[in-house]
Amino acid sequence: MNRKKKQIHLSKENEKVFREILTEVCKNSRLLSSNRFVQHGSTSVFRHSVAVAYVSFYIAEKYRIRVDQHALIRGALLHDYFLYDWHEKDDSHKWHGFYHAGKALQNAMEDFALSEIEKETIRRHMFPLNPIPPRCREAWIVTLADKICSGGETAEGLWEKFEEIRNPS
């Protein structure tokens, strides 16, 4: 059974802005290395981060929310910049959900001069698991987009497993 996926698109102008910032972040960081690590289901951390950034920018555009576009996109791209495989059996990964935002922020600060909005976005994106809420629009939008993307990626992974069980090769 083929499921139809809803496509979302930015305006041409914002698509160009998004691609420019994505290119800049990829050139000046270790973000591409996160393609080696699985985030949710079969989605890599890199693909997840790009999806969260795109959905965040889409939400801001669609609902005409005034944001610092550069900070929104960079904060979203770097929100899971922890650079390790949290699925490995390792005691340091046991509390990944609670601590990876801090590790992502630490890594991002090594590679970039971050604005306060970008720091806040990375630090607070795990609300409500981490109980301190975001304090700026950009961080709230990324937090929401992260939940949307994570839910979809996890459900997609479960759907793939279900299909494997139903249709063994």
15-44 pLDDT, tens digit per residue, is 999 999 999 999 999 999 998 987 767 789
pLDDT at 59 over 80: yes
| 1: confidence class by pLDDT, cuts 50, 70, 90 | very low
Amino acid, single-letter form, for residue 50: V
Q: Does residue 5 form part of some domain?
A: no
Report which of 71, 100, 68, 67 is spatially closest to residue 83, judged by C-alpha positions.
100
- Which pLDDT belongs to residue 101? 93
Contacts of 120 (CB under 8 A, 6+ apart): 75, 134, 135, 136, 138, 139
Q: Does residue 17 form part of some domain?
A: yes
Averaged confidence pLDDT in the chain = 89
**What percentage of the chain carries pLDDT values higher than 70?**
84
pLDDT at 2 over 60: no
Q: From CA 6, how far away is CA 164, in angstroms rounded?
A: 23
This prediction has a pTM of 0.88
Q: Does residue 27 form part of some domain?
A: yes
What's the structural domain count of the chain?
Answer: 1
Q: Does residue 99 form part of some domain?
A: yes
Mean pLDDT calculated for residue range 2-14: 83
Can you give the residue range of the structural domain that contains 148?
12-86+95-166
Q: Does residue 2 form part of some domain?
A: no
93-119 pLDDT, tens digit per residue, is 677 768 889 999 999 999 999 999 999
Q: Does residue 3 form part of some domain?
A: no
Q: Does residue 140 form part of some domain?
A: yes
- Which pLDDT belongs to residue 169? 62
| 124: confidence class by pLDDT, cuts 50, 70, 90 | very high
How far CA 80 is from CA of 15, 39, 86, 106, 121, in Å, comes to: 22, 9, 11, 11, 11
pLDDT at 50 over 60: yes
Q: Does residue 6 form part of some domain?
A: no
Q: Give phi and psi for 13, each to the nearest 5.
A: -60, -45
Domain containing residue 39: CATH number: 1.10.3210
